[in-house]
Structure 1
Amino acid sequence: MSSFAPRSERFGKKRKSSSRKKQIWDWIRAVALAVVLAVIIRSFIFEPFNVSGPSMRETMHTGDLVIVNKLIYKLRDPKPGEVVVFHAIEHKDYIKRVIALPGETVEAKNNKLMINGKIVEEPYLDENTRTLDFNLRKVPPGHVFVLGDNRMDSTDSRVIGPVPIKEIIGRADLVYWPLRDFKLLW
């Protein structure tokens, strides 16, 4: 009797080992591709943002998680009414609503917001929201004027000045967490 396995058994084991190695490499490639895609998507297209503070209380709350579209402003400029995330101070990002564009004038009188001398309707605000008066300001080229939806408690363009468009990270598109606050923001 021979102690060797039949030739067909020896090749079967070798094929199984080769097949298992191929499966492992396939999984490694799939995971690596998923990681690369996730990094690309987060770096250039969408990024989660955690809302902090009372300035957008009419629309979002502290702890809400939103998806920020980082690609949109590489294709076009911000529009009035859009909620944006931007670099405000070193290591701190703010979330506010675009109110006025470059070259426009903005002011508030008697609790009414005015752009270029005309009263602006703001359907995204509660009817009881108040906007304290502030003097006429002209938005410089390459900037936008932003306000928080909670006008009585917001550090926005009334305090920090117009925001350079180049400092805008992207448009907040969706509140996705907690689920009770789930909604589109445009």
Structure 2
Amino acid sequence: MRLLSYMGQWKSAAKEVLDRTAIVAKFLCLLHVTNNYLCSPTLVYGPSMLPTLNLTGDVVLAEHVSHRIGKVGTGDVVLVRSPVDPRRILTKRVVGMEGDTVSFYVDPMYGQTTVVPKGHVWIQGDNTYASSDSRHFGPVPYGLIQGKVFFRVWPPDGFGTLEQ
């Protein structure tokens, strides 16, 4: 009789563990999908996007839908996988889309003009003196865009949408 009682308790405990494990697994799946395919927080730091973003670091929200459906345009701040170092994600502003003519300066005395090729975008940091961008590595394939920044959540005094 006692043995049956213990087996019943073990079955009950095992069912409880499996139920809780399933809940945690579902939550982690939801978190993965949300973070990779919908929206994610990102820490952005460095001088290239001054004065729009702070040198010491901002936490921004980036959505991951617009670039998949072709809704990224000139003036948008985007997260881009670096064409030079694929382990790095850059935060830059889209300055030109495919077919646009872009004029830029590599140094203060030497200007150039180029046409953005099909399937590419031209990206630049807002701080032209301290940004490694398309002026240095050329047009970036559209497929390297990882997300579109739409909201700053930190620091508190900068809370809100990004102004262009």
Name the TM tier (shorter chain). Answer: 0.7 to 0.9
- Mean alpha-carbon deviation: is it higher for 28-37 or for 81-90? 28-37
Deviations 1:127-175 (A, max 9, x none): xxxx987321111111111111112221111112111101111111221
User: Is residue 176 of structure 1 aligned with residue 153 of structure 2?
Assistant: yes
**Amino acid of the structure 1 residue aligned with 2:98:** P
TM (norm. structure 2) is 0.79
**Amino acid of the structure 1 residue aligned with 2:103:** E
How many residue pairs get aligned? The number is 157
Q: Per the alignment, in what secondary structure is the counterpart of residue 183 of structure 1?
A: coil
For the 8 Å contact 1:175–1:181, the answer to whether it is kept is yes
1:99 corresponds to which residue? 95
TM (norm. structure 1) is 0.71
**Amino acid of the structure 2 residue aligned with 1:105:** T
User: Is residue 185 of structure 1 aligned with residue 162 of structure 2?
Assistant: yes
2:36 corresponds to which residue? 43
Q: Per the alignment, in what secondary structure is the counterpart of residue 48 of structure 2?
A: coil
The runs of 5 or more residues in structure 2 that have no matched partner are none
2:52 corresponds to which residue? 59
For the 8 Å contact 2:45–2:53, the answer to whether it is kept is no
Q: Per the alignment, in what secondary structure is the counterpart of residue 184 of structure 1?
A: coil
2:123 corresponds to which residue? 146
Deviations 1:50-87 (A, max 9, x none): 21210111111132111221221111242011001111
Identity %: 31
**Amino acid of the structure 2 residue aligned with 1:85:** L
1:166 corresponds to which residue? 143
Structure number with the higher helix fraction is: 2
Separation in structure 2 between the aligned mates of residue 146 and residue 75 of structure 1, nearest angstrom = 19
